[in-house]
Structure 1
């Protein structure tokens, strides 16, 4: 293998040409492809995906019933990446999760495209290790499975439904609740919704009181829960129909965002440079957007801040304890592969301004590449005042505008849509924001329900949470970092505080993984300071970044519940672990139907030292959602997130060199007139 930006390696592979249906065989031709290789973290190309599929097939691991539940880049460990130089050879490896739809057998395969080898094959025990993520093909088969089941059809007739073509079975992750008939089986739980006609939105008409448990391998309903016949809400809620919404308002005047000289950022081979920031864009089929090697250029130095940042898992647990819904708790990253659910973004709708789009190339269930156009949006936007001062002594009046770089993607997972936004600011601040929108999950509303809101006549929306866990592989000015917990300390009246006005700050060093399992406390102003073990600022103090949580409620399910066991990461705001390249997901590698205890609880069990070490932060945050009538029929965006802010990372305000204005609308040293023009600009 030859690597490097100037010498791409060559791979001979078999590419599928046709299917011999009668014999159940695939016939291949031989071609040569040249995946361009410039960096160990470069995203897999379509040719590399084809090469990976052919390589795995060559080793006898693909049958006519095998599906690729996952196929993605196996990222090299951190030291390999940091030591890479242009032209160095790179071992391009892939990870594949193979599921045999006929037998349910699952294998995890690690293979090298560069060496044309399969390095390991591991068979998964579904009872102890969990199941692969849910496949699109499986979701599509559920309709046929439930409609062929006599019990389910009878349950529909009991509710007065005779036209099954207008029933929309909704397959959902089963979780793991110790249901005896599901042990070791690949299962989904199926709720159902009714359409009045094909263009009618089914979410408005839940067929409540009944749920089918489906075995995807045997392709049959293994248990039917028919708890109660409840009224099916009749009112339609078609948010895309003018007959429902009314005519569009005409009062909004256009807002045009233009950059006549183009954007301030540059993009080359997925590496983005903007002002002092530089980073590499990655896209993972499970996590979606990944930011690699996020660094700040300080003169002639490139100072690392975060080595890798991604949304590693999320869980959406519901509060309804009824026999039909107690199991609702969805892990959208691990159970549904968040990256695979990515939307194609549209200019003027999802993003405004001078936009750079990144397409995504993902492997489908057959291991073949599929292109998603405009999967990631990159643009910059004005963000109000950066800093301002009018001096009473010198009569100086200075204002600077804040600007931020936005890197975002959107996914649709069933009824919900999520936007994930990374923001980089001129002053070195990093922010992550989630925008939750879409359609709330619905039920028949039971009067005075303690677990749901009535959002329309007879239509309920169960209470639930959205909890997100971001993995932050920190690298603040070097590999070795430490974490301190910072809190407000109120001081009582006494000799040192006679008037009771004093308060100070308490600092606690977190020295081991067990000590670093923490919750946020807004009343204590609790934050966490990630500091360099080696680099100091001009005041002699360690350079640092501060994680500022929002501090909303964590997982509300009982600590002894199955949900809490599987989503243990969501019971704490912060976990800090020693870096291990194998520790990627806070709920474990295969969370689908996993019994629990994997991921962060297992990672911290060894209680490794984290002081002055290469460390990873895991931050959980989110929102409790008590749906409102205003959330129906489509929910306005609800926001949550966190901030990473430099603390002593710079020797002074790093934005003193930001010009007073980049357009003619902002006056320089303008006094009152300049202020007025700046306001309008």
Structure 2
């Protein structure tokens, strides 16, 4: 390809699987459905909630060589809509048999995630509720112009909800098809809906509040502004094509090699990241993903106190992945990947252009002009980018993994879209006024990255490293000294940590069995952004259900069954699932096969500038080599030969 704005496209898992981590193919999804149908497990009211590759044990993957036989398994969650009963299955597509089948106990284990089909029914249920119609009549609102927003219910000690599949519904007014409903919240009233009984079971009508009237479309009058014409085009060109190569779901770029996968709960996953160091392929991470996220809101009013969404565990956000567009979402020499998932009837569905792969310039990587030997050298940085974007309700999220030439790994989450709105109740409340009478409640976006580390192998240790001053004294007579203080984390109870930016706190993941040429244990450092963790009270329901978000770091000994930091079934789970149960045994984490769980995210006090569409806000973390290499691994970069660079 010879121009910047070009693309290629492939479908992940479209060919016969040639590796244990190849995502499920459309044929495998069909085979799994046929098996369950033959077993009598699929009836008129049964829906497929989740279908994904059941990844083999790490030892199986690491021992695999091309040509070895591969057993293909799928994990499947079913929901019987007539009873609300969920079933958790593992099936062998290779052997055409059910490996395991477990009924989900909704009273103790929570419920399977919410279906799109269940959301689609909600407005009809509202129109069938006398209490809801009375609430709309009291506000002089035409019910047919009300847009229902059904949201996960959480768990708040309401005994009549135990075992019932509940959502809570907030409403917005939409005057016409072009009108943006988020601009017109019908605040002060909420409906509770039983999804199994298919009816409104309760309406809480707290207070009548004016519905904000100003339209909210980004180009709505009277605030629309003409499109500017003074910005000239920026072209990204790679006349000789991209530097990466793709073989199935394996990507090679510069010294990096990895595989990628995708499922509707975690979205994009990275596997077996390794760095070629002088011809030696050195592992860094076995598996990396964003394994959960929670969006807790701060409005304590009777109609909103329960607003806490787990967009992955409750909604399976990957199914809302955008089809990316060249020149809009990505620039340059683009490789797009289609992704095959299962729809709610168990049939394969292809999401076009779901994943974007490209490389981009990233400024100066290293540079020096020396006064003594006349050295004048500059090398430019570039990074490989693999990403996806999704829209879930009002918010849009992008997740971007970056690999750098110097061995750095970075994850960047991008939050944009439209803030969730309310009526503005005044400066003493828990929201920002965005437009006349329109509020946006304070909230957080907290993500959990699951990092199955493999720094030069699966024997790793974690140290907390702080910058600390040395007291003035005989060792430091002038008071200028400071040093790094290292504290080894030896058990899972010690591995629960918070960041401290005043100490420049980082965590080193080292391999005590491998040393660099200076005798130092090879390692990588996790650099947190150090923003607030969960701000809800420690005794609150959300603190129990999103316990992962109360710490910046959890370190656990590897267990293949421990995949999700808030537990397998988050929807209406009472709490303490996931990480609190994982660490209950307080296993050893010194010189073990380790998983790091890193909480990062945004604390959002919305601004008027976030309305009507929010500029992207960013959150993330970095993993940087620390003693992993003997010296700068990017010394082999050639000087730039672009015509606009001066020579000599």
Write the deviation string for residues 471-504 of structure 1: whole angstroms up to 9, x where unpaired. 0000000011110010012111111111000111
> Quick one: distance in 2 between partners of 1:50 and 1:132?
22
Q: CA deviation at 1:58?
A: 1.1
Q: CA deviation at 1:165?
A: 2.2
- List alignment gaps of at least 5 residues for structure 2: 1-12
Partner of 1:198: 177
Q: CA deviation at 1:245?
A: 2.6
> Quick one: distance in 1 between partners of 2:508 and 2:646?
39
2:126 is the alignment partner of 1:171: no
1:587 is paired with a residue of what secondary structure? coil
Contact in 1 for aligned 2:460/2:592 (Cα 8 Å): yes
Greater alpha carbon shift after TM alignment, 392-401 vs 613-622: 392-401
Matches within 5 A, 1:582-601: 582-601=561-580
Q: In the alignment, which of 492, 495, 498 is matched to residue 474 of structure 2?
A: 495
Q: Which runs of 4+ in 1 moved over 4 A?
A: 240-244
Greater alpha carbon shift after TM alignment, 392-401 vs 473-482: 392-401
Q: CA deviation at 1:35?
A: 6.2
> Quick one: distance in 1 between partners of 2:249 and 2:293?
26
2:313 is the alignment partner of 1:313: no
Q: CA deviation at 1:324?
A: 0.3
1:129 is paired with a residue of what secondary structure? coil
Q: In the alignment, which of 73, 79, 97 is matched to residue 53 of structure 2?
A: 73
> Quick one: distance in 1 between partners of 2:47 and 2:303?
31
Matches within 5 A, 1:556-567: 556-567=535-546
> Quick one: distance in 1 between partners of 2:220 and 2:525?
47
> Quick one: distance in 1 between partners of 2:15 and 2:618?
40
Partner of 2:210: 231
CA pair 454-63 structure 1, distance change in 2 beyond 3 A:
same
1:172 is paired with a residue of what secondary structure? strand
Partner of 1:328: 307
Q: CA deviation at 1:338?
A: 1.8
Q: In the alignment, which of 417, 436, 459 is matched to residue 396 of structure 2?
A: 417
Contact in 2 for aligned 1:35/1:48 (Cα 8 Å): no
> Quick one: distance in 2 between partners of 1:110 and 1:159?
50
Contact in 2 for aligned 1:661/1:667 (Cα 8 Å): no
Partner of 1:624: 603
Q: CA deviation at 1:154?
A: 0.8
Partner of 1:101: 81
2:43 is the alignment partner of 1:63: yes
Contact in 1 for aligned 2:460/2:593 (Cα 8 Å): yes
Partner of 2:456: 477
2:119 is the alignment partner of 1:139: yes
> Quick one: distance in 2 between partners of 1:555 and 1:612?
30
CA pair 502-348 structure 1, distance change in 2 beyond 3 A:
same
Greater alpha carbon shift after TM alignment, 316-325 vs 174-183: 174-183
Write the deviation string for residues 24-80 of structure 1: whole angstroms up to 9, x where unpaired. xxxxxxxxx996020000011111111111111111111110001111110001000
Q: CA deviation at 1:464?
A: 0.3
Partner of 1:462: 441
Partner of 1:6: none
Q: Please give the TM-score of this superposition, normalised by the length of structure 1.
A: 0.92
Partner of 1:269: 248
Partner of 2:103: 123
Q: In the alignment, which of 393, 402, 408 is matched to residue 387 of structure 2?
A: 408
CA pair 274-242 structure 1, distance change in 2 beyond 3 A:
farther
Q: In the alignment, which of 39, 62, 86 is matched to residue 82 of structure 1?
A: 62
Write the deviation string for residues 614-653 of structure 1: whole angstroms up to 9, x where unpaired. 0100000111100000000000000111000000111011
2:43 is the alignment partner of 1:41: no
Partner of 2:505: 526
Partner of 2:224: 245
Contact in 2 for aligned 1:238/1:244 (Cα 8 Å): no
> Quick one: distance in 1 between partners of 2:646 and 2:42?
67
> Quick one: distance in 1 between partners of 2:258 and 2:637?
21
Partner of 1:304: 283
RMSD, aligned α-carbons: 1.2
> Quick one: distance in 2 between partners of 1:450 and 1:156?
24
- List alignment gaps of at least 5 residues for structure 1: 1-32, 671-681
Q: Please give the TM-score of this superposition, normalised by the length of structure 2.
A: 0.97
Partner of 2:616: 637
Q: CA deviation at 1:244?
A: 4.8
Q: CA deviation at 1:533?
A: 2.6
Partner of 2:133: 153
2:379 is paired with a residue of what secondary structure? strand
Aligned length: 636
Q: CA deviation at 1:173?
A: 0.7
Q: CA deviation at 1:662?
A: 4.3
Partner of 2:10: none
> Quick one: distance in 1 between partners of 2:646 and 2:256?
27
Q: In the alignment, which of 613, 623, 626 is matched to residue 647 of structure 1?
A: 626
Contact in 2 for aligned 1:512/1:609 (Cα 8 Å): yes
> Quick one: distance in 2 between partners of 1:551 and 1:559?
19
Partner of 1:17: none
Write the deviation string for residues 417-441 of structure 1: whole angstroms up to 9, x where unpaired. 0010100001000001111000000
Q: CA deviation at 1:243?
A: 6.8
Contact in 2 for aligned 1:146/1:221 (Cα 8 Å): yes
> Quick one: distance in 2 between partners of 1:75 and 1:461?
41
Partner of 1:28: none
Contact in 2 for aligned 1:660/1:666 (Cα 8 Å): no
Contact in 1 for aligned 2:219/2:225 (Cα 8 Å): no
Q: In the alignment, which of 177, 185, 200 is matched to residue 164 of structure 2?
A: 185
Higher relative contact order (CA 8 A, sep 6+): 2
Partner of 1:348: 327
Q: CA deviation at 1:395?
A: 1.9
CA pair 240-56 structure 1, distance change in 2 beyond 3 A:
farther
> Quick one: distance in 1 between partners of 2:161 and 2:91?
32
CA pair 34-379 structure 1, distance change in 2 beyond 3 A:
closer
Partner of 1:447: 426
> Quick one: distance in 2 between partners of 1:470 and 1:662?
39
CA pair 662-130 structure 1, distance change in 2 beyond 3 A:
farther
1:128 is paired with a residue of what secondary structure? coil
2:548 is paired with a residue of what secondary structure? helix
2:523 is the alignment partner of 1:551: no
Partner of 1:676: none
CA pair 338-662 structure 1, distance change in 2 beyond 3 A:
farther
